[in-house]
Amino acid sequence: MLQLNWDNITIMVVDDNSFMRNLIVTTLRALGIGNIATQSSARSAIETLQVSRKNPIKAGIGSIDIVLSDFVMSEVDGALFLRWVRTSRQAPDRFVPFVMVSGAADKAVVEKARDAGVTDFLAKPFSARSMADRLLEVIKNPRQFVLAPNYFGPDRRRQDRMVDWRTLYDDDTRLQADRRITQASDIQVIHAQSNIRSLRDDVRAIYFRPANKLRDKLGPNALRGQIDFDPLVIQAAEERIQELVGDYSTWVRNYLDSMTDSHNALRQGAKETKHHVLNINQIAHELRGQGGIFDYPLITAFGKSLYEATIDTNAKITENRLMLVEAHIDAIRLVFTEKVRGKGGEVGGALLKDIEKAVKKYSEPPKVSAAS
C-alpha cells in the first residue's frame, strides 16, 4: 500500500449525540485520521468556523478539509448548517467537502441535502468500510462546483450531460420562460490555474474546477497510484467499533428508560405532550442510525418505525398512539435484553410481524376533510 500522509487531513465532526460523535471520531482515528475537530451542535460549529476565518489560533483549528455532519439536530439542523457553509460570507471555505451522516436517509432528506449543496451522504448505520469509501470518493473524485439560479454547490449530476435548467426553478412563470437546454456557450468555466478575474454577464451557469488540495495534502505518493486504505486498517477499525458495544449497551438502556418515562407521562395526561413525543421521536431517530452498526438491524428497523409513528409531535394523544409507542419500546427492549443479533431467526421474524400488526392495528386513520 502507498504511504499517505493522513495526518495532514483535518476533519470536523458535528453531531449533537455524544455517543455517535465519539463513534465517528473513533472510526476516523482507527482509519488513521489524526486531526479531528468535534462540535456538539451546528450552532457551535458555525461560531467556531466564523472565528477560524479571521483567527485560527483563537478558534483552535486551522483549515478544515472535510466536514462530517449529522442531519437531524436541534436548533440548527444539518441542512441549515450546510447552507450556511455554502452561502455565508463568514464561511472560511465555501468549497469544503461536506458529507452528511444521518440515519434519516430517506429520499426527501437526501434530496434536501443535495439541494443545499452536500458533497456526499453517508447513511447510518455505517461501517468502517463505508466511512472509508466516502472519504476516498471525496478525495479521488472531487466534483466541480456549480453556480446557477438558486444553487451553489457540487455538481449534482453524476454524468456529463447538458442541464435542463427548468429543473432548477420552482417558479412556474420562470419555468415557462426558460424552456431551453443550456448550451456550452451558456457556461463559464473557471479553472484553478485560470487568470480570469471577472465573470461574464451573459452566462446561465458557472463551473468552478478547483485544484485537488486533499490529494496534494496526502503527499507525493497520492499522485502515483491508487489511493485506498489498507484492508488491515479497515479490519482493525471494524473491530474497534465492536469494542464499543459495551458503551452502546449503556446508551440503549438510557434510551429505553427515557422513552418509557415519556410514555408513562403521556399516559398519565402530562400537559407538555409535545415535549415527550419529541423526546421519543429523537431517540427513535438515534436508534435507527445506531443499531445496525453493532449488528442490531432489528433495533434500526424498529427505531425507524417508531420515528415515523411519532414524527407529528402535535398529534392528539390517543390510546391507540400510546399502544403503538409501547409496542415499539417493548420490541426494542426485548431485542436488546435477549441480544437478538442480525435478523434474529424465528424470534426476529416474529418480532417484525408483531410490529407490523401493531402499526396496522393502532395507526390513526387519515383525516378526511369535509367537502366544501
DSSP assignments along 70-119, one per residue: -S--SSS-HHHHHHHHHH-TT-S-TT--EEEEES---HHHHHHHHHHT-S
Same domain, 164 and 257: no
pLDDT in tens, 151-179: 888 987 754 444 444 444 444 444 444 44
Burial class (CB in 10 A: 0-12, 13-18, 19+), 232: exposed
Residue 372 belongs to some domain of the structure: no
42 shares a domain with 127: yes
Most confident of 178-182, 344-348, 361-365: 344-348
Q: Are residues 173 and 230 in the same domain?
A: no
What pLDDT sits at residue 366?
A: 52
Q: Is 206 a member of any domain? A: yes
Least confident of 127-141, 204-218, 345-359: 204-218
Q: How many domains does the chain have?
A: 3
Average pLDDT, the chain: 84
Residue 367: which pLDDT band, with cuts at 50, 70 and 90? Answer: low
Average pLDDT for 4-9: 85
Q: What is the rounded average pLDDT of the residues 257-270?
A: 94
Q: Is 55 or 49 the better-scoring residue by pLDDT?
A: 49
Residue 367 lies in a domain: no
Which of 211, 228, 258 terminates a domain? The answer is 211
Q: Which residue has the higher pLDDT, 249 or 181?
A: 249
Give domain status of residue 123, yes or no.
Answer: yes
User: For position 260, which CATH number holds?
Assistant: 1.20.120
Report d(CA 88, CA 242) in Å as an integer: 39
pLDDT of residue 229: 85
pLDDT value of residue 369: 47
Q: Both 312 and 338 in a single domain?
A: yes
Residue 289 lies in a domain: yes
In a domain, 46, yes or no: yes
> Which CATH number covers residue 16?
3.40.50.2300
Q: What is the mean pLDDT of residues 307-334?
A: 92
Confidence of residue 371 (pLDDT cuts 50, 70, 90): very low
Note whether 194 and 218 are same-domain residues: no
Q: What pLDDT score was predicted for residue 175?
A: 41
Same domain, 150 and 125: no
The pLDDT value recorded for residue 165 is 40
Residues 156 and 26 in one domain: no
Summarised one tens digit per residue, pLDDT across range 350-362 is: 889 989 998 888 8
Residues 341 and 218 in one domain: no
Same domain flag for 30 and 63 = yes
Determine the Cα–Cα distance for residues 203 and 2; give it in Å rounded to an integer. 43
CB-based contacts of 2, cutoff 8 Å, min separation 6: 221, 222, 224, 225, 226, 227
If asked whether residues 263 and 164 sit together in one domain, one would say no
Higher per-residue confidence, 95 vs 290: 95
Domain that holds residue 351: 244-362
In a domain, 371, yes or no: no
Percent of the chain surpassing pLDDT 70 = 87
Q: What is the pLDDT of residues 28-45, one digit of tens each?
A: 999 999 899 999 999 999
129 alpha carbon, distance to own chain's centre: 16
**50 domain-assigned:** yes
Cα–Cα distance measured from residue 34 to residue 225, given in angstroms and rounded to the nearest whole number? 23
- High-pLDDT (> 90) share of the chain, %: 38
Same domain, 178 and 289: no
The CA distance from 131 to 129, in Å, is 5
Instruction: Give the number of other CB atoms < 10 A from CB of residue 183.
Output: 9
In terms of domains, do 235 and 249 share one? Answer: no
Provide the pLDDT for residue 224.
Answer: 66
Worst-scoring range by mean pLDDT, 3-7, 80-84, 132-136, 188-192?
188-192
